[in-house]
Amino acid sequence: MSSHDLGLNCSYQLAVGEGSFVRLLGGLSYQELSGYQTKMLPNQAIATLDVGGRSWGWRLGAAYEVPEIALRASVVYQSKVKYDLGGTIEGVIPQALNIGSDVSLPQSVEFKFQTGIAPDWIAMASVKWTDWKSIQVVPFALTDAIPAYGLASGRVMSSLDLYFRDGWTVSGGVGHKFNDQWSGAATLTWDRGTTTGWTSQTDVWLLGAGANYKANDHLDIKLAGALGFLTSGTFRDKVSTSEFGTDLVKGFTVAAKLKF
Q: Write the pLDDT tens digit of every residue in 57-88.
A: 999 999 999 999 999 999 999 999 999 999 99
Confidence (pTM): 0.86
- Other C-beta atoms closer than 10 Å to the C-beta of 33 total 19
Mean pLDDT of 169-197: 95
Could you give the count of Cα atoms lying within 13 Å of 6 in the half-sphere of its Cβ?
A: 5
* Residues ≥6 apart with Cβ < 8 Å to 44: none
Tell which residue, 19, 124, 136, has the closest CA to residue 72. Answer: 124
- Percent of the chain clearing pLDDT 70 (strictly above): 98
- List pLDDT tens digits, range 93-115: 888 889 899 999 999 999 999 99
Between CA 210 and CA 10 the distance in angstroms is 24
Between CA 98 and CA 51 the distance in angstroms is 10
Are the CB atoms for 74 and 63 separated by under 8 Å? yes
Q: What is the pLDDT of residue 44?
A: 63
